[in-house]
Amino acid sequence: MNKNFRHKIVVGFIMFYTFYSIAQNNFSLANGVKKQTISFKLLNNLIVFPIEVNGKKLNFILDSGVGKTILFNISNRDSLQLNNVKKIQLKGLGSEDPIDAVLSKGNIFRFKNISSKSQNLYLIFDDSFDLSSKLGITVHGIIGYEILKDFVVKINYGAKKMTFYNSELYTHKTCRKCETFDLEFYKNKPFIEVGVKLDSLSNKITSVKLLIDSGGSDAMWLFEKSHPNIEVPKKYFIDFLGEGLSGSIYGKRSIIKGIVLGKFELKYPTVSFPDSVSIKHARQFKDRNGSLGANILKRFVVVFDYKKNKITLKRTSSFKDPFRYNMSGIELVYNGKLLIKEINYITYRLSSNVGTAKQDEIIKESNYKYTFKPSYKIHMLRNNSPAQRVGILPGDIVIKINGKYTYDLKLEEIVEKFYQKQHKKITLVIERNGKNYEYIFFLENLLK
């Protein structure tokens, strides 16, 4: 973040008086309101929804895997007021050094009938931590424990709705499609014990303790050597796994025979084994064996009840959907706006009288209009992937995919095409140094 940007953040130093109660650090429903339902966007398996922070509307990812509320990607236009600030450093997933941040106290959060008058947040200045370009919409922050701890929260991934219930009034209902698990908390992060079938030739179940990570788009991460039975399967490939606060995360991607959640069993889930440097900070909790991510959570209606240390999973129609991964090797990101020239058709009716008869004539005219539309580029390529082998390069701008202009598609609509069945033909028209090139490749499943 440059100095001019920092000066443009309006920083207010507020004196807090002793009559402020501890409860003001919590979120609560407005008087008389028993529950609040909100809609969210589901992007790359991640929940994105708006919250007002000190009167400014910002987009947050709901991430059960974080214990602190974090802001990033705050632009010059945002003019966000932050209260009671001090400089600190944060360390998270990734292989890089700790990053500079600001701790701000006493901030007002609000969405619909839910609010908090005094919340802490952490603002990071590292411009390289940019989830917005990878999701196709502007994302300003991550929130988890601070909002989940104060309610019973039901997440319906299929309907793309979350309901926040007054935990004192909520009654858990029994259902045959549900399974309830105990939660263990470490540094405000929830952990669950589940079973995994690691050997493709055996039904042996290994018990593992996983972080419930709604902010991780993968199905599951396992940490090598964190349990005597956890070893990387023979078939795997090296892949980019995501971005952490401290840098990019790489590891081995593979599949295992199954994951057992009580009476539910998910067969052949994808699993990632992050490299040991990236997860050094995460391994501080010695009992942890990995993470349970959103590609598994989205197959259920999920009910978090932090006050009772419980989570309930209700299977949905997507429970048996096959697990897929990006078989193109392309990491695609948003690349700003393009000014597109389009034909605009205007149709109108022209009436005239011929003698005593009235005649109508349909007139169709055209002109041109200019519209700003999204552009997408290739951020990185997996080594020896189908896309890399045909000559596609990082930095190439994707103009068309399978005959369709990408500016008429959302980022997730394009990326979804890379998750289809193997041998699926992909045709890309890319722009490089002002010239267009066409490439054809076929999706390749490296794990069969």
**pLDDT tens digit sequence for 175-208:** 888 999 999 999 999 999 999 999 988 899 999 9
pTM of the predicted structure, to 2 decimals: 0.85
Percent of the chain with pLDDT over 70: 86
Q: Residue 129: what pLDDT? A: 67
Other beta carbons within 10 Å of 26? 16
Q: Residue 358: what pLDDT? A: 64
In this structure, the answer to whether residues 372 and 255 fall within a common structural domain is no
In this structure, the answer to whether residues 95 and 234 fall within a common structural domain is no
Is residue 251 scored above 80 in pLDDT?
A: yes
In this structure, the answer to whether residues 161 and 182 fall within a common structural domain is no
Mean predicted lDDT score pLDDT of the chain: 87
Domain that holds residue 255: 178-315
Q: Residue 76: what pLDDT? A: 54
Instruction: Say how many CA atoms lie within 13 Å of 428 toward its Cβ.
Output: 28
pLDDT band at 22 (very low <50, low <70, confident <90, very high): very low
In this structure, the answer to whether residues 197 and 300 fall within a common structural domain is yes
Report how many domains make up the chain.
3
Q: Which residues contact 58 (CB under 8 A, 6 or more apart)?
A: 50, 51, 52, 71, 78, 80, 140, 141
Specify if 413 maps to a domain.
yes
In this structure, the answer to whether residues 188 and 308 fall within a common structural domain is yes
In this structure, the answer to whether residues 150 and 13 fall within a common structural domain is yes
In this structure, the answer to whether residues 395 and 246 fall within a common structural domain is no
Q: What are 403-436's pLDDT values in tens digits?
A: 999 999 999 999 999 999 999 999 999 999 999 9
In this structure, the answer to whether residues 159 and 234 fall within a common structural domain is no
Is residue 3 scored above 80 in pLDDT?
A: no
CATH number of the domain within which 58 lies:
2.40.70.10
Is residue 267 scored above 70 in pLDDT?
A: yes
Percent of the chain with pLDDT over 90: 67
Q: What are 150-165's pLDDT values in tens digits?
A: 999 999 999 999 999 9
In this structure, the answer to whether residues 114 and 244 fall within a common structural domain is no
Structure tokens at 118: 């005094």
In this structure, the answer to whether residues 154 and 216 fall within a common structural domain is no
